[in-house]
Structure 1
Amino acid sequence: MDNEKFDKEFEKLWNETSHSHSNEEKETSWEEFRAKTFTQKKRSLRPWHYCSAAAVLLFVLIGTGIYFNGESSAENVVLAETVIENTTSTIKNIVLPDGSKVELSPNSKIKFGQNFASNRKIEIDGQAYFKVKKDKQHPFQVFCDETTTTVLGTSFTVKESENEEITVELFEGSVEMSVKGKDQKWILKPGDKFTYGNEIASVTEFSRFVDFDDEKLSVISQYIEENYGYKVTIPKENLNQKITIRINKKEDLKTIVQLISEMYNLNFEINEDLKQINFQ
């Protein structure tokens, strides 16, 4: 391939890569790059040197995922994805780079960019509960199939069923729901459940709380084990004591444990490594 033809092919590659710029920006950027890279060395470069330069540029563009954009802002750099998958049989607790928390259910995974703190977009496959840290400058968005959940600070669950039906249950705050290809937006309030399947969207109510009416403490310990994955040990003399309480289904575990401790004058110890809670 002669030098003139190579220049044209390389310029085409450059323009296709910088698809987000105007034609004028592409032309100016190409001329500057060409002048610095090829023109000054045109007499001394052999054809294989051109191929080497092209290979290096392709490696930079494709291998690192960085695209050019006139400005050097960190938010304009697309970095590699981080993938977290829960292959265990219990809930996996995750703290995201922005301080938000995720309870990832078994057989589920999330994906987000390494620049997540400034670009809070996350994809989910399966089910997870999100407790989002407030940041008005950077909205938090969860993508699940064709649905997008946008939030500034709240707590909610997102679930994709086997038949690809998406459900979002809002426990605190407010979220805006949107569906790819649809202009309508749905604003959810606490207690609202958004469902999307077979191209039909609906909003219904769900119960955010679980009620224990004159139940034994042993029933509460079983509830904690099934929903939080922690084994609970209660002194024998307290097992049959009764309790009447309403708990937010996504209440912080430590809040529940402290409440039981204060109501029955018990001390407690939480072993995070063994996932155990011991009352005494």
Structure 2
Amino acid sequence: MDKEKLDNEFEKLWNETPVSNPEGIKEASWKKFHSETFAIKKQKSKPWRYYAAATILLFVLIGTGMYFNTENETENVVLAGNVIENKTTKIKQVILPDSSRIDLSPDSKISYADNFALNRKIEVVGEAYFQVKKDKQHPFLVFCNETTTTVLGTSFTVKGFKEKEVTVELYEGSVQMNVKGRDQKWILKPGEKFTYGNHGASISEFSRFVDFDNEKLTVVSTYIEENYGYKVILPKEYQNQKITIRINKKEDLKTIVQLLSEMYNLNFEINEDLKQIAFQ
């Protein structure tokens, strides 16, 4: 991808900020970020800002799932055979029979039938983040209270405890929302949130990225610790290094670690037992 095309795509992504931000602030922020990111400098190290830009564009280009029109299937759904409950205080990772992945939040539960590979229907109580494997022949349906989320291949979060409102946040792809007893359908785009409660439904925007604008590398380390549960150890000489980058809030941890490794020419080691990442 040439620089002009990369620049244009990157600017579109940067402008994906909440609508509450004034256009003047967005424009000024972009100009500042653009001048720093694409400035021509003589340097011995790798051009890490281009690594960052390429990775950010990757968030846009992958996960192009499509919605699948079905009738409202919230009626008389019985899912049995497999029940997984997270009674811990940490997120639990679950790999489904079709290789889709779920990050199941504490105090949350999922259930699905034994023939899941052919009947991709799953019920959620609580909160779960889904990364769905594409299968055009078998749509993936998530039931939560009175709502149904229908998807072929994408990533999204579903949150809904019993007798409380349901929210669905879409990170990649496209999904269709249905509500029990209603003929209306809602189609979500990345960055949109569907909310249903008190018999009312609405769509609003949310920020699916976190921005680090000329921040110390230790700030990114803290973000990883707070959101992924891994302690990050950096060489002393890198702790005050500055970084400007935008990260998908639901990005895979290893992708982020590999990116930082490339940006600063560092090796890393992940210790799963200690939940620790050491750069060197």
Common topology (TM > 0.5): yes
Amino acid across the alignment from 1:269? E
Task: Give, in whole Å, the separation in 1 of the partners of 2:180 and 2:256.
Answer: 39
Cα distance in 2, alignment partners of residues 95 and 107 from structure 1:
18
C-alpha separation between the residues in 2 aligned to 1:204 and 1:150?
19
The alignment partner of 1:167 has SS state of strand
Give, in whole Å, the separation in 2 of the partners of 1:116 and 1:245: 39
Q: Looking at CA atoms only, which structure, 1 or 2, has the larger radius of gyration?
A: 1
**Which residue is equivalent to 1:222?**
222
Matched residue, 1:194: 194
What is the SS of the residue equivalent to 2:257? Answer: helix
| Paired residues for 1:71-90 under 5 Å | 80-90=80-90
Question: Higher relative contact order at CA 8 Å, sep ≥6: structure 1 or structure 2?
Answer: 2
Q: Is the 8 A contact 1:84 1:109 kept in 2?
A: yes
SS of corresponding position for 2:237: helix
Q: Deviation digits for residues 54-89 of structure 1, max 9, x if unmatched? A: xxxxxxxxxxxxxxxxxxxxxxxx995211111111
Deviation of 1:241 after TM superposition, in Å, equals 1.0
1:236-279 Cα offsets, whole Å, 9 max, x none, are 22111111100011111111101111111110111223322111
1:162 shift after superposition: 7.2
Query: Would you identify which runs of 4 or more consecutive aligned residues in structure 1 move more than 3 Å?
Result: none
In 2, the alpha carbon distance for the partners of 1:152 and 1:250 equals 19
1:156-195 residue pairs with structure 2 within 5 A? 156-160=156-160, 164-195=164-195
Cα pair 1:91 1:229 within 8 Å, conserved: no
Q: Residues of 2 paired with 1:105 and 1:234: CA distance?
A: 29
List per-residue Cα deviations over 1:21-69 (Å, max 9, x = no partner).
xxxxxxxxxxxxxxxxxxxxxxxxxxxxxxxxxxxxxxxxxxxxxxxxx
Partner of 1:152: 152
CA distance in 2, matches of 1:141, 1:94: 17
Where 2:88 maps in the other structure, the secondary structure is coil
CA contact (8 A) 1:209 1:249 kept: yes
Superposed CA RMSD in Å reads 1.5
Three-state SS of the structure 2 residue aligned to 1:226 is: helix
What is the letter of the counterpart of residue 97 of structure 1?
Answer: P
Matched, 1:132 2:132: yes
TM-score normalised to the size of structure 2?
Answer: 0.70
Unmatched 5+ residue regions in structure 2? Answer: 1-77
The answer on whether the counterparts of 2:79 and 2:111 sit within 8 Å (CA) in structure 1 is no
Q: Does 1:102 align with 2:102?
A: yes
5+ long unaligned stretches in structure 1: 1-77
Secondary structure at the residue paired with 1:106? coil
1:269 matched residue in structure 2: 269
The percent of aligned pairs where both chains have the same amino acid is 76
* Cα gap change, 1:161 to 1:240, in 2 (>3 Å): farther
Q: How many residues align?
A: 203
Contact 1:176 1:185 (C-alpha < 8 Å) held by counterparts: yes
Tell whether 2:211 aligns with 1:208: no
Distance 1:267 1:114, change over 3 A: same
1:176–1:188 contact (8 Å) kept in structure 2: yes
TM-score, normalised via structure 1 length: 0.70
Report the structure, 1 or 2, having the larger helix content: 1
Question: For residue 257 of structure 1, what is the aligned residue in structure 2?
Answer: 257
